[in-house]
Amino acid sequence: MAQCGIPRSWSDGGRFHQTRQQPQIGQSIRFGSFNDRRRAKIPDLKRWDGASRTSQLWDCLGKRDPELWHRKGNCLIYLYGRGQSNRSPSFKVPFNTLLATQCQPLIARYIRRDIPETLGTEASQIELYIPAPPAATEEEAMRHYLDIRNFFAWVFRRSMVGDHLGATLIRLLHTMTELRCLGLNNAEDLLNYADEEGYLEMCNQPAHALGVLHFAEYCQDRRLYIEAFTHCTGMVDELYIVPEYQASDAPNHLDSFDRTLTNRLGHYFRYSKAAPPSKG
C-alpha cells in the first residue's frame, strides 16, 4: 500500500483511461450489484447544479425534460419501445450532435427501423425508441432510463441527476462505454465534462468531494483519489450528513476502507486541534 492507503498498481488517470472493448449491439453491460433486484427502492432524485454548487429535488423521469428539449432539435427520443406507449417524447435534440460525439452505437441500436440508419445531419426528423432491458423490474427500468437521461445530459452539457454523485458518475462511465464508438477515452471525456459542470470543485463541497472520491476509487485514479481524499479529510466533520456517506455501507457506495481511513484522519485532526501544545 502506498500514500493514503492507495495500492501501488493505481496510476494517474486510472484504469479506464485505456480504451476498452465495447459490447456488441444487443448485449448489455453488467453494472455489478447495481442490477441486484433485492436492493432498496430508488430514493428521491437530485439534480446537481455544479455551477451554483447546489442540488435540488428532481422529478422529470418519463416526462418532457426541459433541459434536453431543444427548440431546433430534429431527433425525438422516446423512453419506451416503439408501440409500447402513447407518451410524448422525453427529449428533442440535434441529431448532428449525437454524430459529432460518436454515439453511432446508440443510434444503430435504437433508431426507428423503417428509417435508414445511414441518415445524415440533413434529415428532417429522426426518432429513437429506447425500451427498458428485457425482464427488467420497474426499479431496474427506472435506473436504465436515468442512465440514458444522464448520457444525453453529458452529450449536451446539462446537469446530472441521481441519488448519489459518485455512483451516478460510475454509471455514466459505463453508459458512455456502451453507447459510443470503440477506441474513445470515455473516462477523460467524462472528467472534462465533470470539470466543466463544476463537479470537480471540491473546496467546501463535501458532496462533490465524497462523490469524486468514490469515482476515483472505482477507476483506480491515483491523482484524483489523493485530491478528493485530501478534501474529504479537511471536511470530515461535514461528511456525516452527506447521503453518499450515510449509504456507504451499501454495495457500490464508498468503499468501507475509505470510510474508515477518513474517520481515523478526522479523529486525528480534531485531536490535534484540541490537544494542548507539548512542553519542551
Q: Is pLDDT above 90 for 112?
A: no
How far is it, in rounded angstroms, from Cα 257 to Cα 236? 15
Q: What secondary structure letter does DSSP report for 278? A: P
Q: Is pLDDT above 60 for 237?
A: yes
Domain-embedded: residue 182: yes
| Sign for the pseudo-dihedral over CA of 48, 49, 50, 55 | negative
Predicted pLDDT at 117? 52
| Sign for the pseudo-dihedral over CA of 107, 148, 11, 23 | negative
How far is it, in rounded angstroms, from Cα 98 to Cα 70? 13
Predicted pLDDT at 1? 40
What phi and psi values does residue 175 have, to the nearest 5 degrees?
A: -65, -40
Predicted pLDDT at 241? 76
Top-confidence range, 140-154, 228-242, 261-275: 140-154
Domain-embedded: residue 220: yes
Q: In 10 A of CB 7, how many CB atoms?
A: 9
Angle between helices 222-234 and 256-274 (to 10 degrees): 40
Q: What is the pTM of this model?
A: 0.77
In contact, 47 and 153? CB cutoff 8 Å = no
Q: How confident is the model at residue 66 (pLDDT cuts 50, 70, 90)?
A: very high
- Structural domain range at position 232: 1-27+163-271
Domain-embedded: residue 90: no
Number of domains in the chain: 1
Instruction: Give burial (CB, 10 Å; 0-12/13-18/19+) of 177.
Output: buried
Q: Which amino acid is at 136?
A: A
Domain-embedded: residue 119: no
Domain-embedded: residue 260: yes
> Which stretches of the chain are DSSP H helices?
95-100, 104-110, 138-155, 165-179, 186-197, 206-219, 222-234, 236-239, 243-246, 256-274
Helix (H), strand (E) at residue 76: strand 75-78
How far is it, in rounded angstroms, from Cα 103 to Cα 199? 24
Please state the rounded mean pLDDT for residues 92-105: 96
Top-confidence range, 113-127, 129-143, 167-181: 167-181
How far is it, in rounded angstroms, from Cα 228 to Cα 221? 11
Predicted pLDDT at 124? 76
In contact, 247 and 253? CB cutoff 8 Å = yes
Q: Is pLDDT above 90 for 178?
A: yes
Please state the rounded mean pLDDT for residues 46-70: 88
Predicted pLDDT at 245? 73
Q: Which of 22-31, 169-178, 182-191, 234-243 has the lowest mean pLDDT?
A: 22-31
Predicted pLDDT at 29? 34
Please state the rounded mean pLDDT for residues 102-121: 77
Q: How confident is the model at residue 277 (pLDDT cuts 50, 70, 90)?
A: low
31: left (phi over 0), alpha (psi -120 to 50) or beta: alpha
Domain-embedded: residue 203: yes
Domain-embedded: residue 88: no
**Better pLDDT: 116 or 147:** 147
Domain-embedded: residue 211: yes
